[in-house]
Structure 1
């Protein structure tokens, strides 16, 4: 490896995210050098030999041998072609090879009309620790299935795990719905109630598809009303989860829901909750979030695509008194190098009564998405949202499907009057345990162009103003410009906001620094 110093910088904080190792692959992420303006690409070395080149701050090593230890280094390459010295080396290992349990060996039939629930569950139950339940090419219908610790569900290219449209195939169970423990239909892919024990080491991978058949299932579940709607994938009480390359689509509600999960990686996944990716919209689905970490921590989401009917990613931690009593926050979440193609961007809340902290959204693109980021905490939630940053993101929204309303008010959106059609920004209420605090929120290096509504909307409560809000290197144009209410410490640095309709800036009870 021949290197030179490029202004003395090198990539920083190289890690292999939690659980992101298989028997032949190892995923890597790192932070950009500082400053990063001159970086053209990165070179990835394995045991001293170049393995690949990339422009993003993630890379997945492939073609590795099982049960092997590898030394990995990453160098930055400047626009002039100079190669930096590498950052500290990372030692990472592949997993052992795994025993395969093909669902067809347990009686599964690849025609969409057969209910293969028993065959799926038999394969899962037979799977030995570290083993793989294998779904080959073909369409395999099934009802709810339940994963267990130390296993991989692998859906091969051309394979489809197709959910039944019959609510009877999804037993009613108790788990979190919109921030409270309530009766819900089981999801298509679940973990069982753990009886106080935690699951661990669950991987869902492959180039195939998990299709929850939500357009049909939604109607059945809403008509029967034995519980709230299920999800496509709902993993609970699980440590070390890896979602790799899989496509998940058409949930009757939120698509991928992670409840009380820690040490999670999502790499190269695709989620469709609004349309099938070919212009055909799913019918009878609403509240169709893409991926929701809920009271979950230490999460890496990278190199992925979400086309959502609602929030693309929504980070949550329980609702009101129950959420405060449970008191499990969502924190330490890193979202990088992702593409969002419809919906409402990366949201924090509104169910956040256990607290949310330390969230980074970096190097992401938003196409016909209403907002880059929404931080929402209406009265009654309580707790704190803090240390949230959006950096190096672009948004182009030429869709007029949605316009400003009580649910979404800006392409950059911080809203403590969320869900209220009418509100008085001057009317104070008594501060109590349900009064939320939002502080230390930043948007840096943002370019956005939206025809739908406000470019920037930021509103704190008069009794609990937003604290320490930073917009830096932001260039924005919207139907309306920037509106700011009740902010204690708003920093605008190199900010240009333009309105197509009215005045560019409106400030009310806002102290700038």
Structure 2
């Protein structure tokens, strides 16, 4: 009851006026809120019954099409009321998507690889999904589940999207389809009429769970995705633990929670061609009408490598709140450490962000929050409320562009931010704050510590 009270109190703060912060109590408050969130997260329940995909005709020779075997295993699992589908050692070619049912754990054992065919036509007919924050119907994600409960993917094996020869080449051709999706978004076109797929060049996600409850993704190695690797859309009660990546094709984000809640992301080894974690909540009209806030997300003990480590936005029109990033480090280069991006097209809010004890090597910018992302929406008035941010113990060896950046707007300044114990060895531009209110720096050293002052001789 105490945890629920604390969580309810801070959710009230998130949607009301920003409270005046007592800095001395802020960390205690953040820890209480984080613990309240963790108490809500259990992940998936897993069936004790096991079946082997090889019993349904799958062969791990990398040649035979195993899609029918996976489909049959899913049907049997549904009839049994749930099962663990075991994928033993071998390479299993799958020509088309794997569609989940409830109460199924896909257990990909060590030495096993699920390798998808790169042929786009195999991922039709279209399914309900979203693309860059707009809800629509498109190619099926390679692993897909909608309106399910208790689904999991575990093991030490590999999921290989094998998308380098087809989907990875589509970005240069996507602009007309992208523009049409956004036009439909802004015109409130019924989602049933937003049919994309062939001829529109919008790449599907590798793994997507849409409208699902109780999800666990654990241990597997992910590579060669057609688009985003793991997309958690309008889902809740999720654990992502111990995933490993070498996914450097175009826009291979690691984990994208969108309009989702109660999520634990921990012990992940990122190595991605785009954002490692990108938290979203729908784009523009779709975020306001079809979306829901992304909230209650704990990211801890991860190793970041890729474009940006943790991003909020830019598709965040339904709002993002209660995000905790703790005890994370780097496995290689990241352009930015923590990045909040929105603009006057988006509306919504970003608040209750807590960053504790995270470090990077060389970055372009260590902490960057902007309400003017990509220079878009400058003539609009859908300003985003950004505030109530506490950063304690954020470090990097070098920031080649800027250490700490806050870019609010005159209409909606960024408010109530504390930077504490910031350590940046070298920085081209230490601090750049525009249109801010109530920003405090405590024990911050950018460009090294000054040390003892010299004495006159």
Whether TM-score is above 0.5 comes out as yes
Give structure 2 stretches of 5+ with no counterpart: 1-33, 171-195, 449-457
Instruction: Indicate the residue corresponding to 2:59 in structure 1.
Output: 109
Q: Provide closer, same or farther for how the CA distance between residues 225 and 442 of structure 1 changes in structure 2, counting only shifts above 3 A.
A: farther
Residue equivalent to 1:135? 87
Distance 1:115 1:430, change over 3 A: closer
Whether contact under 8 Å (2:237, 2:263) holds in the other structure is yes
Q: Residue 414 of structure 1 aligns with which residue?
A: 369
Structure 1 residue 22: Cα displacement: 8.1
Q: How do 1:307-322 and structure 2 match up within 5 A?
A: 307-322=271-286
Q: Which residue of 2 aligns with 1:377?
A: 342
C-alpha distance after superposition, 1:372-398 (max 9, x if no partner):
211111111001111011110001027
The SS at the match of 2:64 is coil
Match of 2:207 among 233, 237, 247: 233
Q: Report if aligned partners of 2:44, 2:216 keep a CA contact under 8 Å in 1.
A: no
CA 1:465–1:235 in structure 2 vs 1: closer, same or farther (change >3 Å)? Answer: same
Q: Which residue of 2 aligns with 1:182?
A: 136
Any conservation in 2 of the 1:316–1:352 contact (CA below 8 Å)? Answer: yes
My pick for the range that moved more, 179-188 or 348-357, is 179-188
Alpha-carbon displacement from aligned partner over 1:187-226 (angstroms, at most 9, x marks no partner): 110014xxxxx31111110110111112124157699534
RMSD, matched Cα: 2.5
What SS class does the counterpart of residue 369 from structure 1 fall into? strand
Q: Is the 8 A contact 1:272 1:290 kept in 2?
A: no
From 159, 163, 183, give the equivalent of 1:210: 159
Indicate whether 1:493 and 2:442 are aligned: yes
Is residue 2:386 matched to residue 1:438?
A: yes
Spell out, residue by residue over 1:349-377, the C-alpha distance to the aligned partner (whole angstroms, 9 max, x if none): 11000110000000000231122211111
SS of the equivalent of 1:321 reads helix
Residues in 2 aligned to 1:436 and 1:265: alpha-carbon distance in whole angstroms: 29
2:98 — aligned with what? 145
Deviation, 1:15, is 9.4
When residues 129 and 410 of structure 1 are mapped into structure 2, their CA distance, relative to the original with a 3 A threshold, is same
Shift of residue 430, structure 1, vs aligned partner: 9.2
Contact 2:38 2:264 in 1 (8 A): no
Q: Is the counterpart of residue 473 in structure 1 residue 421 in structure 2?
A: yes
Query: How much has 1:174 moved relative to structure 2?
Result: 3.2
Could you say what secondary structure the match of 2:208 adopts? strand
- Which residue pairs with 2:354 in the alignment? 389
Q: What is the rounded CA distance, in whole Å, between the counterparts of 1:16 and 1:107 in structure 2? A: 41
- Structure 1 pair 328/337, CA: closer, same or farther in 2 (3 Å)? same
Q: Report the TM-score, using the length of structure 2 for normalisation.
A: 0.79
Pick closer, same or farther for the CA change 1:117–1:498 going to 2, 3 Å. Answer: same
Tell me by how many angstroms 1:435 deviates. Answer: 1.4
- Contact map agreement 2:328 2:358 (CA 8 A) in 1: yes
The answer (yes or no) to whether the contact 1:475–1:496 under 8 Å persists in 2 is: yes
Please give the alpha-carbon distance, in whole angstroms, between the structure 2 residues aligned to 1:479 and 1:109. Answer: 56
Given the alignment of the two structures, is residue 191 of structure 1 paired with residue 145 of structure 2, yes or no?
yes
TM superposition shift of 1:272: 2.6
Deviation at 1:420, TM superposition (A): 2.5
Contact 2:43 2:214 (8 Å CA) reproduced: no
- Partner residue in 1 for 2:14: none
Equivalences for 1:42-53 in 2 at 5 Å?
none
Tell me, in whole angstroms, the C-alpha distance in 2 between the residues paired with 1:298 and 1:475. 31
Q: Which residue of 1 aligns with 2:181?
A: none
State the SS of the aligned residue for 2:444.
strand
* SS at 1:456 equivalent: strand
Deviations 1:65-85 (A, max 9, x none): xxxxxxxxxxxxxxxxxxxxx
Q: Distance in 1 between matches of 2:368 and 2:378?
A: 25
CA–CA distance in 1 between the matches of 2:35 and 2:322? Answer: 16
How far did 1:249 drift?
A: 1.7
Cα distance change of structure 1 residues 480 and 430 upon mapping to structure 2, 3 Å threshold: closer
Q: Is 1:118–2:118 an aligned residue pair?
A: no
Q: Quick check: 2:305–2:333 contact (8 Å CA) kept in 1? A: yes
